[in-house]
Structure 1
Amino acid sequence: MKPDSEFKEKLDALVLSIAAEGRAQVQKTITTVVNAGGVSESALRGIVCDRNRGTSLRLDACWLLARLGIESADDELEALMSDPSEQLREEAAVGLGLVSQGKAVDVLLKALEQDSSKPVRLAALHALGILSSPRPESAAAVMRVLQDSTEDDDTRADAAEALAHVKGEHIVDALIAALHDRSPLVRYSAAYALGEQGDRRALPALNEIASRDHTATPWGTVASRALDSIEGITNPNRCD
């Protein structure tokens, strides 16, 4: 089977957009989907929605759907958010962050609040962070996760990061408070988010953390992250 000409152009463009070291894997994904009949946009949509197909194939098709610039791809991705497969819901959530332009906030909030799967909820947080919706209910839901002591540290840290580009004084205040959280993961992510916010009101708290919080995380110390954020706020036009 060969993809139709217009679809092939999109596939070829996708491969070229990927860093060189990742192109072989993307090409493998494309070959798998095309060999399974995904030779056009409509055929790709069909694979994504067909629960009789194998999960691995549908995951590959879902990954492509979110990255090929296909019009209204969010329709299929939203439908996948109620799929029995945890993996597909997770992949669909990430995809919605890439394509929905804010349209899918409601379905992502529903996943954040109601899905029993941690990977799906983390993917929903990631997508909400990408979208950075100005809707009050979106920011409020993410802040509830950040401030909920019953949530695990990974989830709360991802919630802090998801607030990085959502503007509002109350959000900055919540992130400043999170600099004193019991979890170094949350403190690190809060420091990162405050740097992205760029609000100078955060500087006293960030300076305090930079001077004393040398707790290590998988990404570096909390203090080093605070220092980077201070630099970003005080020198916003710097070249990294």
Structure 2
Amino acid sequence: MPVARTKAVPAYSDMEEAQLVIHARRGESGAFGAIMQRYNQSLFRVARAIMSDDSEAEDVVQESYFKAFKALATFRGDSTLLTWLTRITINESRGRLRSRRKTVDLAEVETAQKDGSLVIPFRGAHVMENPEAEVARTQIRGLMENAVDELPEPFRLVFVLREIQGYSVDETAASLGIKAETVKTRLYRARRQLRIQLSEVFSSSIQDAFPFLGQRCERINQTVLARLSEHRLLIDG
């Protein structure tokens, strides 16, 4: 009696982006999961930068993934998948805010900032050597996150993408649909406003700002996959 062969499970986590897209278009849940695992942190930070609330940002990321996966056939590869997902996340976030508050007038902000303040560049993160220092770092990170939350959305988005996520100028411009020079200008003004708000620069904690915890990551993955399954967009459950 012939022995049934077990079908090998693709190593989704090791795939290049283009291959992941191909498998996701087939409705393979593993491919969707790998995409979310790869980009959850980035998209959560983008949504958080606009919504200024962890729970709302999580909801935005879930909805953005669902809409993106439903429309995956329209992704032409003109940009990276992350850039495409970032645009969807930004649109979803701004759409939710549109009826709740007006966008800050950049002209007013620029006028308020004409005080000649200097920009103090952010230094690189360093490793803490003892528990007391780690506690201090956590407190500083909280102060830094609060200061970033106070930035007007256009400045906040550029700051998060450039300083926290490490996007290049061109990647940031492509994600936000603005010119590279605009990215540079907004980052300059974001740094300057933070300089005004803070008595000293708390740069050692900036790379750890807005952490994406494991439980939240898993919750988003399971929620999105369940919705895809409910809409019969998966081939394996």
Query: By the TM > 0.5 criterion, same fold?
Result: no
Give the TM-score normalised by structure 1. 0.26
Determine which structure has greater relative contact order: mean sequence separation of CA pairs < 8 Å that are 6+ residues apart, divided by chain length.
Answer: 2
Give the TM-score normalised by structure 2. 0.27
